[in-house]
Amino acid sequence: MRILGVDPGAGGALALIDTALDILDLCDMPVVMIGQRRQISETWLADTLKAYEPDCAFIERVHALPKQGVASTFSFGVAYGMVRGVLAALGVPFHLITPGEWKRAFHLTNSKAESRLVAARLFPENASSFKRVRDDGRAEAALLALFGVQQARP
């Protein structure tokens, strides 16, 4: 089974766990610079998801945060909707998972550093992919994918 975990947003990532091959593949969210802003490339996202051929996806259900600016809230919402739309267009079923739900499964707080440490411990062969502060998207996508694998098991 091929389970995709998605940490949406321009700073997010995609993580695919292939249970048959016992591998984790990570990909930062494919972005382009439009002026001073990073935006997800619809074409690159679609190409990446086609190549991954996931059986299903687990996407972090996100929402606007207090004190978040209007422009950044809008951009984040566009990115979240784009991931959902591309998966739907490709016919990939997806589940929307709240941060509290998947983090509770790994006994995590809201610390992104903690997510990186746990991902490095659970995926030691990929630990170098989680070492930088900005690798939190990769770590959270990997943990979402693992959450999905756990949910898919009978």
Of the listed ranges 12-26, 48-62, 76-90, 134-148, the least confidently predicted one is: 76-90
Distance CA 10, CA 30 (A): 8
Asked if the structure places residue 137 within a domain, the reply is yes
Q: In this predicted model, which residue has the larger pLDDT, 54 or 112?
A: 54
When divided into structural domains, the chain yields a total of 1
Q: In this predicted model, which residue has the larger pLDDT, 122 or 33?
A: 122
**What's the pLDDT at 138?**
97
Distance CA 62, CA 81 (A): 10
Name the percent of the chain in helix, strand, coil, to the closest 5: 50, 25, 30
**What's the pLDDT at 129?**
96
* φ, ψ (nearest 5 deg) of residue 60: -70, 125
**What's the pLDDT at 154?**
63
How sure is the predictor about 72, in pLDDT bands with cuts at 50, 70 and 90?
low
Distance CA 112, CA 103 (A): 11
Give the percent of the chain with pLDDT over 90: 70
Asked if the structure places residue 30 within a domain, the reply is yes
How sure is the predictor about 115, in pLDDT bands with cuts at 50, 70 and 90?
very high
> What is the token pair recorded at 91?
């016919």
Q: What 3-state class would DSSP assign to 125?
A: helix
Asked if the structure places residue 16 within a domain, the reply is no
Report the candidate in 47, 38, 26 with the shortest Cα–Cα distance to residue 146.
26
* Full residue range of the structural domain in which residue 112 is found: 25-152
- Cα angle 137-79-33, degrees, rounded to a multiple of 5: 85
**What's the pLDDT at 78?**
79
Handedness of CA 110, 114, 116, 118 (dihedral sign): negative
Q: Is residue 89 over pLDDT 80?
A: yes
Distance CA 149, CA 60 (A): 15
Q: In this predicted model, which residue has the larger pLDDT, 31 or 54?
A: 54
Mean pLDDT of the chain: 90
Asked if the structure places residue 17 within a domain, the reply is no
CATH number at residue 87: 3.30.420.10
Asked if the structure places residue 2 within a domain, the reply is no
